[in-house]
Structure 1
Amino acid sequence: MLTQVMSPQQVFFSPQRLVVPLFQRPYVWSRDVQWEPLWNDLTRLIELIADGDGQATHFLGAVVLQAQATALGDLPQYVVIDGQQRLTTLQILLDALHAQLETRGFTHLAGQVLTLVENPASFRQGPDDRFKVWPTNRDRAAFSAVMSADAPIEYAGQPAGRLVDAHRYFSSVIGEWLDVEPAESERRAGLLVPAITTRLQLVSIQLLAHEDAQEIFETLNARGTPLTAADLIKNYLFQRLGADETAAEQAYHEYWADFETPFWEAEVSAGRIKYARSSLFLTQWLTARMLKEIPARQVFMEFKRYASSSGTDILSLLRALRSAADRYRAFTESAATRDGVLSRLDLFVYRMGTLDSEIAKPLLIWLGEAQQVALDSGDHDRLLGIVESWFVRRALVRAPSQGTNRLMLDLLIQLAKSGAAPTLACAAEEFLAAQTSTTGYWPDDAEIRRELTGLQAYKKLRKGRLRMLLEAVEDRLRGFPGGRTFSVSPVSRGVCTIEHIMPQEWRANWNVGVDAESENARDGLIQTLGNLTLVTQSLNARLSNAAWAAPNGKRAALIRHDTLLLTRDVVHSDTWSDRDIGARTDDLIEVLIATWPVPEGHRAPTASAVERAQYRTEVVDIIRSGILPPGSTLYAKPAAHRGNVASVNLDGSILMGSATFATLSGAARQLQGGGTVAGWHFWCVDPALSRTMADLRAEHAVGTDGT
Structure 2
Amino acid sequence: MRAQEITFLKLVQGDKQFQVPLYQRTYSWGREQLQRLWEDVGELVDQHLAGEPAAPHFLGSVVLAPGQIQAGGVQRWLVVDGQQRLTTLMLAFTALRDHLKEMGDARGVDRVHRQILVNEFHEGADHYRLLPTQADREAYTACVQSRADAGGGDNIGAAYRFFRGALTEGHEAGDAQWAATVETALKDLLSIVEITAEPGDNVYRIFESINNTGVGLSQSDLLRNYVFMLLPKRGERIYQELWLPMQRSLGPKNLELLVWLDLVVRGHYKTKQSEIYREQQKRLQPLTGDEDALQREIEQLAQRARRFLRIIDPARERSPALRAVLERLAAWGGQTHYPLTLHLLDLLDAGRTTPDDAAQALGYVESYLVRRLICQTPTTNLNRIFMEAPKELETDRPAAEAVKRFLSGRRRRWPSDEELREAVRTKPFYWSGRPPQRSYILRRLEESYAASEPVDFAKAALSVEHVLPQRPAPAWFDLLAEETEPNQTPQELHDLLVHTLGNLTLTGDNAKLSNHPFERKQQILDSSALRMNLEISSAERWGKTQILERADRLADRAVELWPGPIGGVKPTGEESPGWVELRAALVAMPSGTWTTYGDVAELIGSHPMPVGAYLGANTSVIGAYRVLTVEGRISQQFRWADGSDRPPPQELLASEGVRFDSLGRAHPSQRLSAAELATLLGRDVAQPAAHDPLPEGEDAAAAERFRAQLRENSPDAYAGVVAALDFWRRQGGHVTYGRYEETSCFPMLDLGTSRRPHLMWPVGIYPVSGTVEVVFQYLKTRSPFDDTEQRRELLNRLNKIDGIDLPEAKLELRPSFPVRVFAEHSDEICEVLDWFVGVAALDLARRG
The normalised TM-score by structure 1 is 0.51
SS where residue 442 of structure 1 aligns?
coil
| Kept after mapping to 1: 8 A contact 2:242/2:299 | yes
Structure 2 CA distance for partners of 1:488 and 1:590, relative to 1, 3 Å: closer
| Kept after mapping to 1: 8 A contact 2:220/2:259 | yes
Aligned-CA RMSD value? 4.1
- Aligned pair 1:504/2:481, yes or no? no
Letter in 1 for 2:392: Q
Shift of 1:498: 0.9
Q: Residue in 2 aligned with 1:436?
A: 410
Q: Residue in 2 aligned with 1:419?
A: 395
Letter in 2 for 1:233: L
- Structure 2 matches for 1:249-398, cutoff 5 A? 249-258=236-245, 260-261=247-248, 264-265=251-252, 276-309=253-286, 313-334=293-314, 343-349=320-326, 351-352=328-329, 357-369=334-346, 372-398=350-376
Letter in 2 for 1:287: V
Q: Residue in 1 aligned with 2:581?
A: 615
SS where residue 368 of structure 1 aligns?
helix
Structure 2 CA distance for partners of 1:289 and 1:593, relative to 1, 3 Å: same
Moved more, 316-325 or 355-364: 355-364
- Aligned pair 1:452/2:424, yes or no? yes
Q: Residue in 1 aligned with 2:608?
A: 624
| Kept after mapping to 2: 8 A contact 1:457/1:528 | yes
| Kept after mapping to 2: 8 A contact 1:499/1:532 | yes
| Kept after mapping to 2: 8 A contact 1:623/1:630 | no
CA displacement 1:165-216 (0-9 Å, x = unmatched): xxxxxxxxxxxxxxxxxxxxxxxxxxxxxxxxxxxxxxxxxxxxxxxxxxxx
Shift of 1:227: 1.3
Output the CA distance in 1 between the equivalents of 2:350 and 2:366: 19
Shift of 1:291: 4.5
- Aligned pair 1:593/2:538, yes or no? no
CA displacement 1:450-499 (0-9 Å, x = unmatched): 22212222234432221111011122222xxxxxx845677439952111
Letter in 1 for 2:666: M
Output the CA distance in 1 between the equivalents of 2:237 and 2:579: 58
CA displacement 1:111-158 (0-9 Å, x = unmatched): xxxxxxxxxxxxxxxxxxxxxxxxxxxxxxxxxxxxxxxxxxxxxxxx
Structure 2 CA distance for partners of 1:613 and 1:385, relative to 1, 3 Å: farther
- Structure 2 matches for 1:478-627, cutoff 5 A? 478=450, 486-487=452-453, 491-492=457-458, 495-507=461-473, 510-515=476-481, 517-535=489-507, 537-540=508-511, 542-549=512-519, 553-560=520-527, 562-599=528-565, 601-610=567-576, 613-615=579-581, 619=597, 620-621=600-601, 624-626=608-610
Q: Residue in 2 aligned with 1:473?
A: 445
Matched residue count: 412
Letter in 1 for 2:219: A
CA displacement 1:629-676 (0-9 Å, x = unmatched): 64450689885887526699xxxxx97345323279999xxxx9989x
Shift of 1:592: 1.3
Output the CA distance in 2 between the equivalents of 1:575 and 1:507: 15
SS where residue 477 of structure 1 aligns?
coil
- Aligned pair 1:644/2:651, yes or no? yes
Output the CA distance in 1 between the equivalents of 2:301 and 2:665: 58
| Kept after mapping to 1: 8 A contact 2:374/2:424 | yes
Q: Residue in 1 aligned with 2:388?
A: 410
**Structure 2, gaps ≥5 residues long:** 1-211, 482-487, 586-596, 613-628, 659-663, 681-806, 811-848
Q: Residue in 2 aligned with 1:633?
A: 634
Structure 2 CA distance for partners of 1:532 and 1:287, relative to 1, 3 Å: same
Shift of 1:226: 2.0
Output the CA distance in 2 between the equivalents of 1:494 and 1:306: 49
Letter in 2 for 1:662: L
SS where residue 464 of structure 2 aligns?
strand
Output the CA distance in 1 between the equivalents of 2:650 and 2:495: 34
SS where residue 277 of structure 2 aligns?
helix
Output the CA distance in 1 between the equivalents of 2:241 and 2:443: 40
Output the CA distance in 1 between the equivalents of 2:669 and 2:645: 21
SS where residue 449 of structure 1 aligns?
helix
Structure 2 CA distance for partners of 1:411 and 1:605, relative to 1, 3 Å: farther
Letter in 1 for 2:448: R
| Kept after mapping to 2: 8 A contact 1:529/1:585 | yes
Output the CA distance in 2 between the equivalents of 1:663 and 1:519: 13
Structure 2 CA distance for partners of 1:663 and 1:546, relative to 1, 3 Å: closer
| Kept after mapping to 2: 8 A contact 1:393/1:448 | yes
Shift of 1:294: 1.2
Letter in 2 for 1:330: R
Q: 1:227 aligns with which of 188, 210, 217?
A: 217
Q: Residue in 2 aligned with 1:656?
A: 666
Output the CA distance in 2 between the equivalents of 1:592 and 1:655: 44
Structure 2 CA distance for partners of 1:608 and 1:539, relative to 1, 3 Å: closer
SS where residue 330 of structure 1 aligns?
helix
Structure 2 CA distance for partners of 1:476 and 1:554, relative to 1, 3 Å: same
Structure 2 CA distance for partners of 1:406 and 1:237, relative to 1, 3 Å: same
SS where residue 410 of structure 1 aligns?
helix
| Kept after mapping to 1: 8 A contact 2:309/2:316 | no
| Kept after mapping to 2: 8 A contact 1:230/1:278 | yes
Q: Residue in 1 aligned with 2:436?
A: 464
| Kept after mapping to 2: 8 A contact 1:456/1:529 | yes
Letter in 2 for 1:383: A
Shift of 1:511: 4.8
Letter in 1 for 2:383: N
Output the CA distance in 1 between the equivalents of 2:645 and 2:426: 35
Letter in 2 for 1:302: E
Letter in 2 for 1:605: P
Shift of 1:380: 1.2
Output the CA distance in 2 between the equivalents of 1:603 and 1:511: 38
Q: 2:227 aligns with which of 220, 225, 237?
A: 237
Larger Rg belongs to: 1
Letter in 1 for 2:608: R
Output the CA distance in 1 between the equivalents of 2:417 and 2:668: 43
Structure 2 CA distance for partners of 1:569 and 1:445, relative to 1, 3 Å: same
SS where residue 364 of structure 2 aligns?
helix
Structure 2 CA distance for partners of 1:658 and 1:488, relative to 1, 3 Å: closer
SS where residue 570 of structure 2 aligns?
coil
Output the CA distance in 2 between the equivalents of 1:330 and 1:428: 20
Shift of 1:368: 2.0
